[in-house]
Amino acid sequence: MSAFKVNIVLFGIGNVGSTLINQVLFSQKQFAEKKNIDLSFKVITNSTLAFFEKTKLQNEWEADFKQFAIPFQVPDIIDYIQEQKLENLIFVDATASLELVQTYPLWIKNGFNIVAANKKANTQDFHFYQQLRSLLKVYDKTFLYETNVGAGLPVVQTIRDLHNAGEQITKIRGVFSGSLSYIFNRFSAEDVSFSTILKDAEKKGYTEPDSREDLSGNDVARKLLILAREVDEQFEFTDIDITSLLVPELTDNISKQGYAIQKTALDKPFEIAKKAQKPNHALRYIGELDLIDKKAVVKLISTPQNTALGQLKGADNLIEIYTKSYGEIPIVIQGAGAGNQVTARGVLSDILKIAEKLKFLEPVVV
């Protein structure tokens, strides 16, 4: 019996997208043998070009993309999928594009399930958020986005499961940014300037393409917003109190090139904050969602080094989930919160969840 074929359209072949393709190709035989699933990338795109896999890959996928990719519009891809009469469809968004998010309803209406590393669909105004969920119900499609919070960690699923089981979640708190975890873990432990560590984080691919997005606190705030909405709170982004890490001279008023040159402006204020701490303390940038008082904050704190937050290493995230049943002892989820490999693996895990669901729903031929 041939493996159950799942057809994927992938938008975004940057760090996460390209890693995802390579992970699938590497594990394809395993998926076929152990899960009876064949994951097939039918269309692969970057921001301007698309490669339509009319035949099996002839070379390495990068070479095929370079040779055969052509300019496209979203309707071109949907037309191609319909012409080929392809089923079991998953649209994967590995971009950071707001424009692409606006096309999600079109994908759903044309038979696609969605997996997104892109956070923007879940952080638009609540009206769009609700409309998208309503559309998913009407067309009986699945939308998974585990990597929106915590890269490959099971944060969204855990909170969703607790909430759906009737558990009252009272507070969610922790370090939600792998990039800022890496920066402050090193800065607290080493005698190195803040800007030097920031540049290292950028080189490792931990930060957003413009690291001001991390330092502004907006990325952490978006994650809090996503989790608040998972427990049916109608939060908007503007409801979150954000303390930015940026100094005035490094705001969006200067170009990305200007920002790259002037990062050393961050060194003095953070060195002062470091020295002003009590002994045996460490700086951590946290998000906190209080579901009793309906408040969300993003801020820099100083915490004892012997606490869970104070002992963080590398680029780990640490999320504490406080609930009525568990009382003062939180559920703790900790692990790598940044990196192309773990994020791509999280996306792949979501793809496989949908693939298993599609396989289960496949009509039985008697």
Which residues are CB-neighbours of 187 under 8 A, at least 6 positions away? 194, 197, 270, 274, 283
What gap in Å lies between CA 344 and CA 24, rounded to an integer?
Answer: 10
**Using the 8-state DSSP alphabet, how is residue 207 labeled?**
S
Catalytic residues: 223
Tokens of 300: 């820099």
Count of beta carbons in the 10 Å neighbourhood of residue 57: 15
Is residue 181 within 8 Å of residue 314, measured between CB atoms? yes
**Which tokens hold the place of 7?**
């057809």
342 and 147 Cβ atoms separated by less than 8 Å: no
Angle, helices 194-203 vs 267-275, to 10°: value is 110
The distance between the two most distant Cα atoms of the chain, rounded to a whole number of Å, is: 74
Q: Tell me the two tokens of residue 69.
A: 């990719």
Question: What would the two tokens of residue 62 be?
Answer: 């990068």
Strand blocks (E) in the chain: 4-11, 37-45, 49-52, 70-71, 89-93, 112-116, 143-144, 169-175, 240-242, 281-290, 295-304, 316-323, 331-336
How many beta carbons lie within 10 A of that of residue 23, not counting itself?
16
